[in-house]
Structures are given as C-alpha cells and as structure tokens.
Amino acid sequence: MKNTLRTVYRACHLCEAICGLEMKIEGNNIVSIRGDEADPFSRGHICPKGVAIKDLYEDENRLRQPLKKIIGSNGHAEWRTISWDEAFDLAAQKLSEVNLQHGDNAVGFYAGNPSVHNIGTLFSVPSLVRVLKTKNAFSATSVDQLPQQLTSYLMFGHQFMITIPDIDHTDYFLILGGNPVASNGSLMTVPDVTKRLQAIKERGGKVVVIDPRRTETAEIANEHHFIRPSGDAALLMAMINVLKSENLFRISHPEKLTGLGTALAAIADITPEAAAPVAGIDAATIRRIAREFAHAPSAICYGRLGTTLQSFGTLNQWLVQLMNIVTGNLDRVGGSLPTNPIIPTTGRGTKPGSYARWHSRVSKLPEAGGELPVAAMAEEILTKGEGQIKALVTTCGNPVLSTPNGRKMDDALASLDFMVSIDIYLNETTRHADLILPPTSHLNHDHYDYVFNAFAVRNVTRFNGAVWPKPADERYDWEIFGELVNRLAAKLGRDSRPATSTSNMIEVMLKAGESSHGISFGALKEAEHGIDLGALKPSIYMRLETHDGKINCAPDAIISDVARLKRHLVSASPPEGELPRNAAPVLEFGVALRSSAPLTMIGRRHVRSNNSWMHNSHRLIKGKPRDQLMMHPIDLAARGLQDGQVVRISSAIGEVNIAVQATDRLMPGVVSLPHGFGHSRSGTRLGLAHEHAGVSYNDLCDAADIDAVSGNAALNGISVKVIGLARST
C-alpha cells in the first residue's frame, strides 16, 4: 500500500522555547520539519535542533530494547539485548537487594534535563523516589536553576513561583549571565527571542547585557558590559544602594514586604566604588545603569545561568528580585511576573518546596525541594559507611559530562554494586550501568509542556498526540517507571499506584485546574497549534505562599551568606592600580599580561548543541568545530600562543588538551569552553559524537566549588592555567 503524506503539528521537546513544528510524515519516515506558522506563540520560529529531530529519531545508535551488560572472559563489557520482562526482573531484584541489605538511602537516583521536557518521566519520578524512600535523590536542578528555585521558595513561599521577564512589553531589559539568542531562553520560555529583543529596541526601549563574553545576545543589545565572573552580586548590591541613596525606590506593595530594612542594611556598604574592581565595571557606569533601570517606565532584571551556576548563585537571584521589587517592577506589566498556566505549578495541590530538612552525609550539603545537590553524588557513592549509595538509578541524565569532576563521577559509577539507566543512548554515563532501559522515541508519545507553559513569557498551552503509536516491542517511559515501581513495591512490601498514561495524567490535572481557564481536554487536543491565553498579568502579591502572605526580603540563609561575598570582594579585588576600573583598558595594561597568571574559565552554549547529548546528529555536528577554548588575543600573546594551537588547560583537579580560538569577544583574563563534550571515553555507542569528541569542561571542576546557600555547583568562574602544546598545522 502506498503511504500517504500527512502533516502533523508538534511542540519541539528539545529546549525551553517549545517551538511549534510542522512535520510532513510519510509512513515511518519524516519527510520534512519546519516551524509551525500557525503556532500563536512561536509564529514559525525554529532552530537547527528542531530540524535535527529527524536525526535523533533515525539515529541507529538510539537504543530501542533493554541492554544488559555482560563481562566477557577478556574482562571487557559486552551488551546483550534482553526482554523487557527479564530486564524489569533484574532491576527490581538488584535494587531491592541493595535496599534490604544496606537501607533505604543505599539506592540513589539522578534525573537529568530531558525529564522536564517529558511528562511521562516527570510525573513518574516521584513514585520511584517514594517507593525507594531514598534521601539520596539528585537532579540536574543543582547544576542549573536551584538558586532560582530556592530564592523563590524562601522569598515567595513556593519554589516554582518563578517570575518571568515580560519581554514583549518591557522598556528596559537588563540581562545578567544569560545568552537567550544561543540558548533560546531559559526560565523564560520565549520562542523567537531575537525578534522579541529587537522589538524592544524598535519601540524605543533598551536591552543591556552584562556578561564576560560579548555573546550573540550582547551583539543585538543596545549595550554590553564585560563583567568579571562572579562579580554580579557586588554589581547588583551597588546598584540597589545607588537607587536607595538617590531616592529612586518605587516600591509598589510596601505592605506586602518584610525584612527589606534588614536586607538593605546587610548590603549597605557595597558602593559602586567597592563593586567596580570586582565587577570590572566602573562606578559611573554602575550608577548610570541603576538610574536608567529605575527611570524606565517598566524594566526587568533577569539573571540566568551565568548568575546561578557560580559561587554566589543564591545571593545573585535574591538581588535580582530585590532590584525588581524596589523599582516596582516585580509583578508589573513589562517587568518580571509569574504565569498562570492552565495546569498550575503553584498553589493548592503543588509542592511549595523545602530547604535543609536533611543534609548530605559527607559534605553536609542541604536538601532543597526533596533533593540533595548533585555536587555531593560522587562522594556519597565513594565514601564508605552507613548510608553510602551502593546502587543508582539514572534517567535522562549524563552526570559524567554534566556535573562537577567527571573523572571522579566515572570512578564512583564504576564502583557501584548495581546501576540501571533509563536512557536512549549508551553514553559516557550509561556505559557504567548494568542495565539500560530505553523508552520509546519522543515522537511516539503524547507531549505536553507542563513545566515550560509555566515559565513562558505569555500564558500559553498546547497538547500534541503521538506522531506514531509506539512499536509493540518498545515501552513508554511511564510504563518503564510503572513496572519498576510495581515490582520494587512488591519486593519491598510497599505501596504503589498503577501507572497512568501521559494523556490520562493531563486530563486529570486539567480537570483540577479547569476552573481558571475553562479549557477542556477535548478543546486542548483539538487546538493542535496551541492556544494563546494572553499576556502575563500581575498576580504574585495575591499568590504569595509564605506563612504571613508577604515577601520575605531577608531570608536568614541568604543574609548570612552576605559575609562570604564581602570576603570575596576583599580577596578578588586586584591590588590598587593593577586592574583599571573599566574592563576595556585591560586590553592594554591588564593583569592578563603575566603569562603565568591564572585565567577564569566560563562556559558557553551554541545553538547547534544541547548539553551533552546531541553531538551524534550529523545535521548539528557538521561545520566548523565548536569545542575550542576561546581566549583573548592579549592572553594568547602573553603566553606565546597562537590561534588554533593545542593547549593544556589545568585546574586544581584535572587537565585537558584542546585547541584554542582567538577572540576579542571575551574579557581579557577570562576563557570560555563549552560543556557537554568529552566523548572520547571508551565503551560508548555514539559513533559521530565519538569522532567529534572534544573535552569535558567538568573534568576540570572541583565538586567542592559550590554556591554555599543552595549547594548548586559553581561550574562557571573557575581558575585555570593554560599552556601551549603542539602548534597547529
């Protein structure tokens, strides 16, 4: 029978922008993928990753059946395909054995980033953690937005009360440590961000980017200022003090604030002059930006990964919120305000969060939202004693490449008694597993963006059914979790609930939230391009979930970290006269001229990559290499290095060799390396990625470097030395 060509519409599940896709399908073949012009939110926008969904779907390396590791007589691992029944039996048997022998915390759990793009996984994870009763649950949250969630919990009373930049209505957008033009936005679901940023300028507004690199976003902004890595907290404190001293506070709901006096007192001594050397931005500019921000009819202060994945992540996020609060921009149209999704993520029936209810065994890092920081995971596996992790379940994650000290993580995972990974690839992490359980392709299941509808710059919603039913011998992620949970519950004598399908979950949750928007599941399914529910509306002051219904401007845990920042100010300030206040003159006389001087390393993202797992797509990996160490010509010259030369980067804990790329788009003294590479590790099944291996940023990161309040890893702003190796040809 001849296959007919049909068109299906689907939200892209690869990044937070959730673009609508129009896919032409013929039989089992994807004929074409382009942006869905009729999606009211993404308006036809698409990036190269969306098109590369075809590669991911067709990838011969993508796993479809359970794999069991067998150690051959030569000591080498071989993988054998086994039946689902055998696989579930093995997993339940081994995990329950470890649990019964060593206790509840002996089975650890790690969930990575794609789990939030996939409700089948997202809604299944809690039942697995519940049946395991483990306190050793980790996720990519603590190498990402944990400081943001924790700040929302401590100030607003709910970890998911994340305020979103109202990009379409703002007059002034101050972006610290985010590069949405490359990342397509984060904790700001914003398809087509370039057009929306340009629209701010077209309507006479201003976009100001603060970043150690002149990024793709900085290129289209009105203004960009280099900042020394980790200088944001000092900068923000100084700006708030300028506003206070110049009577520029415009607080909209003073009766809804507690602790503002305490907060301001704690930071009062950080003047623009005190912040300038640490931020690398001169005092006059700090004053000017602060004034412009306050005078703009509406303004947004937004800090993303560059402000969270560093030593002062929680302080930064607290200060971002204070900037918005004191200028009346929190909860203002054109400011920073929460969404009102049709399936609520805050309010009744949701989990407001928690903090420090328990601590990790070895480094005593605090729990947050029921999880421990992943910076503690390797040591919790490697350190003997009661509560040691002996077995691990991972899903949607590649902690070997994405969390600090990948080599130690390798050692830790290799030492486990048993490891099972629910994952679609045999990669740097899952190669350590004894068993891999691959869920069916994303295109084979229904899709709903529970998380990203809640973080979008407009209130939007969209449900798309599966492109194809799943092949009979494959399993949905929720089926895999359901089966594991049931069998574990039976072996451990614990309760479990039957697993439900993705659409059932949505239907049930929608009924619970139906009153607010009046959209039925039927109507949602019908609207295959998604439904626009309008611009964000002020509501946070009515929705606060703190015990007194007010914003806590001075949470104890945060205020007590201000002293650490002040110590940093002293230690990080260069000696008088050595570093000019404005970053630009560093080009001529900067500290970087000393060849032995350490450099500060930060990460970067590229639109053709996504964390560690898309380097196996030929559409994405082709073209110029994108894995080099970027360095300013001044720093290259000081070390006698040349563009393209192979260099050795060494940190306190490791070293890697990689080609260097000259660029003046980086602050002198700062180097930039993307994370997610490092595919030369043996025993993976990633043909193309292996050929474009690169090196892993996180092989250089010490797990002891954390944001003290949240325990989030401080992967940006690490100190490295760079020396030349062979000349390039």
Ligand X SMILES: Nc1nc2c(c(=O)[nH]1)N[C@H]1C(S)=C(S)[C@@H](COP(=O)(O)OP(=O)(O)OC[C@H]3O[C@@H](n4cnc5c(=O)[nH]c(N)nc54)[C@H](O)[C@@H]3O)O[C@H]1N2
Contact set with ligand SF4 (CB under 6 A): 12, 14-15, 17-19, 46-47, 49-50, 184, 191
Residue 112 sits in the site that holds ligand X (CB under 6 A): yes
Beta bridge partners, 9, equal 22
Q: Which does 613 bind (CB under 5 to 8 A by kind): ligand X, ligand SF4, Mo ion, none?
A: ligand X
Closest Cα partner for 685 from 108, 69, 51, 172?
69
Contact 389, 372 (CB under 8 A): no
Identify the helix (H) or strand (E) that includes residue 11: strand 5-11
| Of 42, 324, 388, 395, the one binding ligand X by CB under 6 A | 395
Q: Which is nearer to ligand SF4, 250 or 606 (CB)?
A: 606
**Side chain identity at 264, as an amino acid letter?**
L
Site string for Mo ion, 130-149 (x = CB under 5 A): --------------x-----
Site string for Mo ion, 144-183 (x = CB under 5 A): x---------------------------------------
> Minimum Å distance from CB 480 to ligand X?
8
Residue 16 sits in the site that holds Mo ion (CB under 5 A): no
Q: Which is nearer to ligand X, 52 or 260 (CB)?
A: 52
Contact 385, 361 (CB under 8 A): yes
| Of 140, 435, 631, 708, the one binding ligand X by CB under 6 A | 140
DSSP secondary structure letter of residue 3: P
Interface with ligand X in residues 77-96 (CB under 6 A): none
Residue 191 sits in the site that holds ligand X (CB under 6 A): no
Beta bridge partners, 535, equal 458
Interface with Mo ion in residues 607-646 (CB under 5 A): none
In whole angstroms, give the CA distance from residue 110 to residue 112.
7
DSSP secondary structure letter of residue 673: -
Residue 346 sits in the site that holds ligand X (CB under 6 A): no
In whole angstroms, give the CA distance from residue 129 to residue 125.
6
Closest Cα partner for 701 from 148, 176, 234, 143?
143
- The tokens describing 299, both together, are 């303004």
Residues 6+ positions from 566 with CB-CB distance below 8 Å:
269, 270
Q: Which is nearer to ligand SF4, 22 or 367 (CB)?
A: 22
Q: Which does 50 bind (CB under 5 to 8 A by kind): ligand SF4, Mo ion, ligand X, none?
A: ligand SF4
Task: Identify the residue whose tokens are 């082709």.
Answer: 622
| Of 389, 602, 621, 641, the one binding ligand X by CB under 6 A | 602
Q: Which does 420 bind (CB under 5 to 8 A by kind): ligand SF4, Mo ion, ligand X, none?
A: none
Q: Which is nearer to ligand SF4, 17 or 128 (CB)?
A: 17
> Minimum Å distance from CB 444 to ligand SF4?
18
Closest Cα partner for 667 from 301, 394, 280, 310?
280
Q: Where are the beta strands (DSSP E) in 612-727?
A: 629-631, 646-650, 655-662, 670-672, 718-724
- Using CA atoms, how far residue 20 sits from 191, 294, 357, 433, in Å, is 9, 36, 40, 35
Residue 183 sits in the site that holds ligand X (CB under 6 A): yes
Residue closest to ligand X when measured from CB atoms: 306
Residue 371 sits in the site that holds Mo ion (CB under 5 A): no
Give the three-class secondary structure for 561. coil
- Using CA atoms, how far residue 88 sits from 78, 85, 93, 421, 436, in Å, is 19, 5, 8, 12, 10
Task: Identify the residue whose tokens are 């599940």.
Answer: 13
> Minimum Å distance from CB 317 to ligand X?
12
Count of residues interacting with ligand X (CB under 6 A): 65
Q: Which does 18 bind (CB under 5 to 8 A by kind): Mo ion, ligand X, ligand SF4, none?
A: ligand SF4
Q: Which is nearer to Mo ion, 59 or 144 (CB)?
A: 144
Q: Which is nearer to ligand SF4, 50 or 590 (CB)?
A: 50
Q: Which does 46 bind (CB under 5 to 8 A by kind): ligand SF4, Mo ion, ligand X, none?
A: ligand SF4
Give the three-class secondary structure for 243. helix
> Minimum Å distance from CB 17 to ligand SF4?
4
In whole angstroms, give the CA distance from residue 658 to residue 538.
48
What ranges in 69-178 are assigned the alpha helix state H? 84-102, 119-122, 125-132, 146-156
> Minimum Å distance from CB 449 to ligand SF4?
10
- The tokens describing 134, both together, are 């483990």
- Using CA atoms, how far residue 74 sits from 413, 466, 728, in Å, is 21, 44, 38
What ranges in 532-628 are assigned the alpha helix state H? 540-543, 556-559, 562-572, 586-589, 618-621
Contact 558, 237 (CB under 8 A): no
Interface with ligand X in residues 16-55 (CB under 6 A): 16
**Side chain identity at 294, as an amino acid letter?**
A
Residue 272 sits in the site that holds ligand X (CB under 6 A): no
Q: Which is nearer to ligand X, 309 or 460 (CB)?
A: 309
| Of 99, 127, 427, 710, the one binding ligand X by CB under 6 A | 427
> Minimum Å distance from CB 203 to ligand SF4?
24
Q: Which does 177 bind (CB under 5 to 8 A by kind): ligand SF4, ligand X, Mo ion, none?
A: ligand X
Contact 714, 309 (CB under 8 A): yes
> Minimum Å distance from CB 141 to Mo ion?
8
Site for Mo ion, rule CB under 5 A:
144
User: Which spans of this chain sit near ligand X (rule: CB under 6 A)?
Assistant: 15-16, 112-114, 118, 140, 143-144, 176-180, 182-184, 186, 210-213, 215, 227, 229-230, 232, 304-307, 309-310, 395-399, 402, 422-425, 427, 439, 442, 477, 602-607, 609-613, 675-676, 697-698, 715-717
